[in-house]
Amino acid sequence: MIRSVVLPLLPGNSFRNNIGQTRFHKSQHFEHLNSVPVLTEKLKPGIGGAPLPWSRPRKYPSIYARAEAPELPAWIVFDKQVLCFDAYFQETVQEQRYAHLVRKCKIYFYLEDGTVQVVEPKVANSGIPQGTLISRQRIHFPAPRDSDFYDMIDFNVNREVELFGRVFKITDCDRFTRVFLNRMGIAVPDPVESPPDPYSVERARLADRMLAKHPNNSVDTLRQFLAHDRQVLRFYGYWDDRASPHGLLHNLEIYYYLSDDTMEIKEVIPPNSGRDTGYMFMRRAKLRKVAFTLW
């Protein structure tokens, strides 16, 4: 078995890499997080107090000048202040008429501790799990920057962020977020439109087809009846049927009832004409303007 060759631990054969170092104590389990002394287990400093790459202190830029406000922890200065961004991501689907889904969501960045939360508004009958997609937590950058966390300067309109393998495209933000970033000296672009979701468009088309194009609106006939009861319009006319065999000239009276828009036609038969006494030419009913043939 071949062993690695090392220099013997003799005077003049060893080299010191910590020349000039004065602190050689071990790592401690206490540190100041957001200006508060806490017990930590993960973010430990190195030998001699040198900070490790993933344990750099978190510093937020302040909107106040140092001479105008006292130095306060971030969880007090930014308490209950949240940046809200509108975003979407595309999800590939299999065995469907459309190749992907466009899922819209909201990204919340909590200024007090730098945590991120992603919530997708619930859509009725979507068939997919919705709600909180990413719970509130600090999120690492994708490799090779996985030792750093996302900060508020990493979120802006018309920018893509990758969170746990999903690429979110930010399209807009609320008014508080826009004003806050502008006060911090960060320019916020104008909102951009998100692409339409093929599934939502198809569902809207099907729902529109289910609605009645001509709904049956109820007509208030009582008001017309009370206003025009026993009011009848009478017209005189005739029907010349002498062109047909044994045809006659029929004198008619046309009655129009204003209470319900019905019509009635009676025939005026001269006395001693030798005809039947029945004078009802058409019973009272509603008459169409365009007649339909009966044969």
Q: What is the pLDDT of residues 33-84, one digit of tens each?
A: 777 787 765 555 566 556 665 555 555 555 555 555 567 777 787 888 899 9
* Least confident segment among 85-99, 202-216, 280-294: 202-216
Give the position of tokens 């508004």.
121
Tokens describing residue 266: 């009676």
Burial label, 87 (beta-carbon count in 10 A; 0-12, 13-18, 19+): buried
Q: What is the pLDDT of residue 288?
A: 85
126 has pLDDT over 60: yes
How far is it, in rounded angstroms, from Cα 186 to Cα 180? 9
How far is it, in rounded angstroms, from Cα 287 to Cα 283? 10
DSSP string, 42-85: SS---GGGPPPGGGPPP-PPPSS-TTTS----HHHHTTT-EEEE
Confidence of residue 1 (pLDDT cuts 50, 70, 90): very low
28 has pLDDT over 90: no
Q: What is the pLDDT of residues 246-273, one digit of tens each?
A: 888 889 999 999 999 999 999 988 888 7
Q: What is the pTM of this model?
A: 0.52
Cβ neighbours of residue 147 closer than 8 Å, sequence gap 6 or more: 53, 54, 140, 141
158 has pLDDT over 80: yes
Q: What is the pLDDT of residue 255?
A: 96
Q: What is the pLDDT of residue 45?
A: 59
Q: Domain boundaries in the chain?
A: 76-205, 222-285
Confidence of residue 290 (pLDDT cuts 50, 70, 90): confident
Which CATH topology does 76-205 take? PH-domain like (2.30.29)
For Cα atoms 206, 210, 216, give the angle at the middle one, nearest 5 degrees.
Answer: 155
What burial letters (b/e) apply to 244-264, b meaning 16+ CB within 10 Å? eeeeeebebeeeebeeeeebb
Q: What is the pLDDT of residue 68?
A: 58
